[in-house]
A and B are shown apart, each in its own frame.
Chain A
Amino acid sequence: DAGVIQSPRHEVTEMGQEVTLRCKPISGHDYLFWYRQTMMRGLELLIYFNNNVPIDDSGMPEDRFSAKMPNASFSTLKIQPSEPRDSAVYFCASTRGTSGYTFGSGTRLTVV
């Protein structure tokens, strides 16, 4: 298995631009999570899905953030418009049953 695949690995964008982060979970995993990691706030859960349905989006910072999971093998996290304070590493993770999370390698986002 290739693991959880995230793209792009690095993204540099200008303030105000739209950013889309992508995630392919492990086949057969029915939970998908988006986390944000910063030095100041550590690992924060943004949103998670179960069987492609959003279950809890209370961690999404504001309306500029949105996430979708159109099918079991793909999810996106979109920021529009982006701001410098959105700069962070964004992780996607997936899991099934009682197994622990498997994280992707992350997307390092820099908004200038």
Chain B
Amino acid sequence: GENVEQHPSTLSVQEGDSAVIKCTYSDSASNYFPWYKQELGKGPQLIIDIRSNVGEKKDQRIAVTLNKTAKHFSLHITETQPEDSAVYFCAATESFGNEKLTFGTGTRLTIIP
């Protein structure tokens, strides 16, 4: 089955700086890669996703890049703000996003004011 590794497990950045979280996956058939943000006491919330036919996708301060050859994808957050503090999870699946997402172990991001 799919295996997703995520690094780093914790990340602290100064407010206004950029944050990068990286994930690698094992199944070359995987074609859908979402990112989730989990705030304390809440369920994970989808913030951005990318499919295998695209190399990069941006949504305001958030971007995701995908390298299918190397089987890794990354989340980039620019101009970080205190409300970006949360746990971020990457995930992967070989379906169109409906089935059996395999999650990374999470990155706790802390934004230092």
A residues in contact with B99, CB < 8 Å: 31, 48, 55-56
Q: How far is the CA of A105 from the CA of B40 in the complex (A)?
A: 10
Q: Identify the closest chain B residue to A3 (Cβ).
A: B43
Majority secondary structure, B binding face = loop
B residues in contact with A93, CB < 8 Å: 43
Q: How far is the CA of A106 from the CA of B106 in the complex (A)?
A: 17
Are B43 and A100 neighbours in the complex by a CB distance under 8 Å? no
Q: Is A12 an interface residue (CB 8 A)?
A: no
Are A91 and B97 neighbours in the complex by a CB distance under 8 Å? no
A residues in contact with B61, CB < 8 Å: none
Q: Identify the closest chain B residue to A93 (Cβ).
A: B43
A residues in contact with B42, CB < 8 Å: 105-106
Given contacts A93-B43, A97-B98, contact A42 B49 (CB under 8 A): no
A106 touches which of B43, B46, B103 (Cβ 8 Å): B43
Given contacts A100-B34, A100-B46, contact A45 B100 (CB under 8 A): yes
Using C-beta atoms within 8 Å of the partner chain, give the interface range for chain B.
20 to 34
A residues in contact with B105, CB < 8 Å: 42
Q: Is A71 an interface residue (CB 8 A)?
A: no
Known: A4-B43, A101-B46, A106-B43. 11 other contacts (CB 8 A): A31-B98, A33-B101, A43-B89, A45-B100, A50-B98, A55-B99, A91-B44, A98-B97, A100-B49, A103-B45, A106-B42
Give 21 pairs: A residue, B residue, CB < 8 Å, sorted on A: A4-B43, A42-B104, A42-B105, A43-B103, A48-B99, A48-B100, A56-B99, A56-B100, A91-B43, A97-B98, A98-B96, A100-B97, A101-B36, A101-B44, A101-B46, A101-B101, A103-B44, A104-B43, A105-B42, A106-B42, A106-B43
